[in-house]
Structure 1
């Protein structure tokens, strides 16, 4: 992690201005297995990113080595009327899926480029993304094992527990839904 700096960005306009720096990192990380994303996936990411920057509580953390973005993480609050939990493959209960707009913070992305992995950068970005949240829980999704074994291990070490799986679309892969209790 020597030489890596972390830059918090909480304003939507500034986050959008950082897209040119974030996209190369996104392309590199998500071109790898198990994702194998291409041009359309990157275009979809750009739309999602811009939309998410307008959501309540949006935060972005950039990890830089000099001027190069080597990792990024961002998230926002799940709104009270969210459909986040509706794609769960197994029901988890009405009380579990109830949202207030300040109950659950969603980590939408957490990615580190290959050459900078296993240096604690992901853990530091995560720590900086959620330090002062008065959330009941943090949630994120990830590819299941064995596809994402290293990420599974990291999230478990940070205290996340799997609560089920979600599929966003008929042809989309299943993702594990992880939750970190903050209380």
Structure 2
């Protein structure tokens, strides 16, 4: 990994202020998959609109020279949330018995990958959170498994599988402590 180039990390709880930047970065990050229904920009837009009205929504965007280069966002999930209901096998009560941070999306433009930018965005998103655990879902085959391996290097462990929608692939559910 090279040294992270200078970026300005901005945190927002207001989707209206950042929606265009999120969609722009997402379109480039997911460009090879945009032909698949679950990865279409419109599907992402619908998901983020839904997630932004859920409790605890927060996003962090990284900017370089005034242009967005990466993002992460998530929200709080509670015991009984559909996130946990779709996870198989049922996660341990120590993870689901209290609020957790669900990292819903993270993406960095290709030119900014392998610079530490994704980790900086991730850590900035978690810095202001009170939840004990953070969970995410990853396609275990994304980047030929490299993304899954990256999350493991950040301290995440596999706890199950989930298929959030019929158009979605089966994802690996991972979790770690927030700090």
Q: Give the TM-score normalised by the residue count of structure 1.
A: 0.84
Q: For 1:107, which of 103, 106, 113 is the aligned residue?
A: 103
Match of 1:73 in 2: 72
The answer to whether the Cα contact below 8 Å between 2:77 and 2:102 also exists between their aligned partners in 1 is yes
The answer to whether the Cα contact below 8 Å between 2:126 and 2:178 also exists between their aligned partners in 1 is no
Match of 1:152 in 2: 148
Match of 2:133 in 1: 137
Change (3 A) 1:154 1:5: same
Q: What are the superposed Cα offsets for residues 96-153 of structure 1, whole Å, 9 maximum, x if unpaired?
A: 56444xx210001110010110000000001100013221210000110464522222
Match of 2:5 in 1: 2
Q: What are the superposed Cα offsets for residues 54-80 of structure 1, whole Å, 9 maximum, x if unpaired?
A: 222111101111121110000110034
The answer to whether the Cα contact below 8 Å between 1:142 and 1:148 also exists between their aligned partners in 2 is no
Unaligned runs of 5+ in 1: none
In 1, Cα distance between equivalents of 2:141 and 2:10: 31
Unaligned runs of 5+ in 2: none
The answer to whether the Cα contact below 8 Å between 1:52 and 1:76 also exists between their aligned partners in 2 is yes
In 2, Cα distance between equivalents of 1:116 and 1:23: 17
In 2, Cα distance between equivalents of 1:92 and 1:81: 11
Alignment of 1:155-170 (within 5 A): 155-170=151-166
Report the number of matched residues: 174
Segments of 4+ moved more than 6 angstroms: none
| RMSD of equivalent CA atoms | 2.2
In 1, Cα distance between equivalents of 2:36 and 2:66: 24
Q: Give the TM-score normalised by the residue count of structure 2.
A: 0.86
